[in-house]
Amino acid sequence: MQQTVQPPIQFLPPRLTPWVVNFAQTCLPFWLRFSKGIPRVEVEGGERLVELYEQFEAGKVRLLVAFRHPTLDDPPCLMYLFSHLLPWVARQQGIRFRRRPHVLFVYDRGLPLWLGSLAAWGLPRLGGIPILRGRLDRAGLKSSREQFVSGQYPLAVAPEGAVNGLSGFLNPLEPGVAQMGFWAVEDLHKAERPEQVLILPVGIRYHYLRDPSSALAQLLSRMEADCKLPPLRDSRTGQDYLLARIMRLGEHLIEVMQPFYQRFYVPVLPPTEVTKTAAVEGEADLLTRLQALSDLALRVAEQHFGLQPQGDLIERRHRIEQAGWAWIYREDIADIPSLSALERGLANRVASEASFHLWHMRLVETLMVFAVRPVPEQPSLQGLAETALRLWSLLAWIKGENPVELAPPRLGPRLARFSIGDPLSVSERWPLYQANRRHAVQTLTQDLQTEMERLLKGKPHPQ
């Protein structure tokens, strides 16, 4: 289907609407159970969250919730944490809040493009603040900064650069959360307000409530059929056999995709890149080959949009996405309907070619989960299931389907378990920020990464 030129993606300021929030909070348990297959949500360390929320209501702190975001199911689960679990834990302690807890949140401005008009209407009314990743978004930053400092609810931000689909693996964190914390301290000082600024790390992990092995085996069989792979004859059983089938699928995808790019795309790249790509073939291990394939796919898109390959895979992905959107959602055209047929046809051609080249970026987005870390020698059954679902997303993109619009395969009901970390005081780091801003932001980001990794590994809370 040909992509046509569109008006620019509009910034929609948050319009928190109480009845929309109440309706969503009421329907949330049923929606999670029947739409997402998540009948249970639990929290570890909920007492710390109660204490901090009570301090927030009392005007003692401004709270930024830095939450793990491995899947698209995390935001509704986070809303459930605040609207249902938090009041329940508080009642156990004899505490009642002034109003039902809620949380504001930052979301990618392009999200409604995937989720549809209902999301475009509902997200701002739930307190969502849209922001464009990969470039300076002054309107989004200004709105999120104002809500963080003066909003009636805490602000939630996912500090990871991309959704990786794995609840057991943390992407490198972006520095935006730390910078927002220091901006809030600065704004409070200017307003002569006494609140302390805290960043609260919140982890989330998913667990299947029953053995997903049978459903996982069926999913692997469907993907093997898509690739015309015969049944794997192997003496291994159980999880070892499932892992062998996943690895074979991954190897097969590389064996097919590498020649595809070598034949159709390498000839248009600079000679130095051809040499670099050819050097990783043959004896290279799986991780190296995946990284080389991801790099090549991104270079194809970067060349089309006139971008230089700067930064890691996540940063490059964001820059390509923003470049593609700029060619589709044209800010330089004031009135698209007023274009002549000739101008409209050329604009549509540009938009269509941009959409085609964004396909390479989407491909890498699903490849990244395999290209940024080696596959564990003994992964858990949960890890195997999540890896298989990422392979399913990858195949969907290659087949011309959109895995965001499709309902992912159900492997069984899941439990979502939150873990509440130690809050990091940004206010206490203010003198360091005044002395060296870059170093202070980097240090706070690293400390946040360390705490979120601790939550991820399920280590005991330090006494």
How do strand 61-67 and strand 414-420 relate by DSSP bridges?
Answer: unpaired
Rounded CA gap, 189 and 421, in Å? 27
pLDDT tier for residue 41 given thresholds of 50, 70 and 90: very high
User: d(Cα 355, Cα 402) in Å, to the nearest integer?
Assistant: 13
Per-residue pLDDT for 378 more than 70? no
Residue ranges of the alpha helices (H) in 151-210?
176-190
Burial pattern 180-215, b for ≥16 Cβ within 10 A else e, equals: bbbbbbbbbeeeeeebbbbbbbbbbbbebeeebbeb
Task: Please state, in angstroms and as integers, the Cα–Cα distance from residue 33 to each residue in 100, 184, 386, 408, 415, following that order.
Answer: 22, 37, 19, 15, 10
Structure tokens that stand for 337 in this block: 């309907």
Q: What is the pLDDT of residues 229-267, one digit of tens each?
A: 998 887 777 888 888 898 888 888 888 988 888 888 876
Q: Where are the alpha helices (DSSP H) in 265-398?
A: 271-279, 286-305, 313-328, 341-371, 381-398
Domains in the chain, start-ordered, CATH in brackets?
18-209+414-456 (3.40.1130.10), 213-398 (no CATH)
The backbone torsions φ and ψ at residue 103, rounded to the nearest 5 degrees and listed phi first, read -145, 130
Give SS3 for 99: coil
* Separation of alpha carbons 446 and 172, rounded Å: 9
Q: What is the pTM of this model?
A: 0.89
Q: Of the spans 230-244, 295-309, 367-381, 426-440, which averages the highest pLDDT?
A: 426-440
